[in-house]
Amino acid sequence: MSNYKVADIGLAKAGRKAIEIAENEMPGLMSLRKTQGKTKPLAGSRISGCLHMTVQTAVLIETLVDLGAEVRWCSSDIFSTQDEAAAAIAATGISVFAWKGETEEEYEWCIKQTLIFPDKQPLNMILDDGADLTKLVHKQYPELLNGIKGISEQTTTGVQVLNAMVRDGILAFPAIDINDSVTKSKFDNLYGCRESIVDGIRRATHIMLAGSVAMVAGFGDVGKGCAQALRGSGCRVLVTEIDPIVAMQAAMEGYEVLTAHHAAVKANLVITTTACTSVIDGSILELLPDNAVVCNMGQFDTEIDVSWLKATALKKTTIRPQVDSYLLPNGKHILVLADGHLVNLGCAKGHPSFVMSTSFTNQVLAQIELWTNNQDCKNYKKGKLYTLPKYLDEEVARLHLDHLGVELTKLTPKQSKYLGIPVNGPFKSDRYRY
């Protein structure tokens, strides 16, 4: 059995230096190591992880191990691996199968390597991103399902898949939706994208953003973060939306809201953020100005119809890795970043460590919940999808406040009684929209 496969194990030293820097920016995970490292709440768990193999994910993996878990890992996108991070994890003896630029066949091979551990025992927990590992086990390895105690899912797309599985009655174990924790969706999705979208575009293209007309497809948390960053860089931002409430939000934030076909005529920069499919299809791509840049910040590779481009273009020219120019029959060129995959990871280094600490602290807490508080599926039932309780969501935020120099006001007993909430929270109902 392979213990690891990475691009270059010689990158481990550089990866370790990057991990050490990231640890300083990930107070949530480091706090969990300090408070729960001795008790080993994840002892006995065999966690198979399928999530972008970045430096920040390396800190997550080593936190899970520090809390007692055995771990085998693969990346959740063919372009998102940071090879130095994968090498650093492999060098410690943790099994990791990930390298930047995998083929789709290699990607599936990597996922399959995470299922069985060195002692021939199968996985009993899943930490997923996009539900790829979850889908594979259900479809190809159903004999493993009964031994899996649960899954924690990172993303909007994965939650959509899990909801469909719940609806169809085929989800074989309980699942915790990390994406809809407030300290994930309102931090990773919004503030993380606000940081990393411009980084990815600039590293890939070196274009001048100020004065550009940027079209942001979707104005959810990811779209909001991208639109803010692009406007802050001097872009004139157009927004497309299907949801009337969200469209009104965009308009009241000062953005022009148009259909994709109307916006495409003006936009020399297009960013998809919807977690949907065929958002930018051939009919839209043909309308874009010459040398327009098209990229994705939504999920995986479904939003931009790259297959149409490959079938239709007269010529494809690779400018540099993950930057391709397509010549269309109408004489225009379209510049596609990361082959339609996530541009911030395909062309840059993804979100900053601090915001990933909020996401990944949720992940660790969910794994602990499913492993330690779910004997005989009494607390978390098979085939059901849950979110973490509000008090844990607030605790994740609390663990990060010192790093920001935040001083938190405390309720007095009189105020607590007046509001009808505990002195120490939770401070909002589950129905509250942040």
Residue with tokens 């390298």: 99
CATH 3.40.50.720 placement within the chain: 207-298+302-340
Q: Is-contact 8 78, C-beta < 8 A?
A: no
d(CA 196, CA 311): 31
Check the annotation: does 382 bind a ligand: no
pLDDT score recorded for residue 433: 86
The mean pLDDT value of the chain amounts to 96
Check the annotation: does 220 bind a ligand: yes
The Cα-based distances of 39 to 69, 373, 395 in angstroms read 12, 15, 19
User: Given this structure, which CATH class describes domain 207-298+302-340?
Assistant: alpha beta
Check the annotation: does 310 bind a ligand: no
- What band does 377 get if pLDDT is binned at 50, 70 and 90? low
Check the annotation: does 316 bind a ligand: no
Check the annotation: does 402 bind a ligand: no
pLDDT digits (tens, 9 = 90+) for 205-246: 999 999 999 999 999 999 999 999 999 999 999 999 999 999
- Assigned token pair, 322: 């993950």
pLDDT score recorded for residue 2: 67
pLDDT digits (tens, 9 = 90+) for 334-343: 999 999 999 9
Residue 41 has pLDDT above 80, yes or no: yes
CATH 3.40.50.1480 placement within the chain: 9-184+351-398
pLDDT score recorded for residue 347: 96
What secondary structure letter does DSSP report for 280?
Answer: B
Check the annotation: does 221 bind a ligand: yes
pLDDT digits (tens, 9 = 90+) for 304-325: 999 999 999 999 999 999 999 9
Domain 9-184+351-398 fold is Rossmann fold (3.40.50)
Q: Is-contact 333 110, C-beta < 8 A?
A: no
d(CA 256, CA 291): 23
Residue 1 has pLDDT above 60, yes or no: no
d(CA 217, CA 223): 7
Of 138, 187, 185, 190, the C-alpha closest to 162 is 138
Check the annotation: does 241 bind a ligand: yes
3-state secondary structure of 47: strand
- Return the number of other C-beta atoms located less than 10 Å from residue 384's C-beta: 14
Residue 379 has pLDDT above 90, yes or no: no
Check the annotation: does 341 bind a ligand: no
Check the annotation: does 155 bind a ligand: yes
Residue 376 has pLDDT above 70, yes or no: no
pLDDT score recorded for residue 301: 85
pLDDT score recorded for residue 179: 95
pLDDT digits (tens, 9 = 90+) for 388-426: 999 999 999 999 999 999 999 999 999 999 999 999 999
pLDDT digits (tens, 9 = 90+) for 245-262: 999 999 999 999 999 999
Check the annotation: does 92 bind a ligand: no
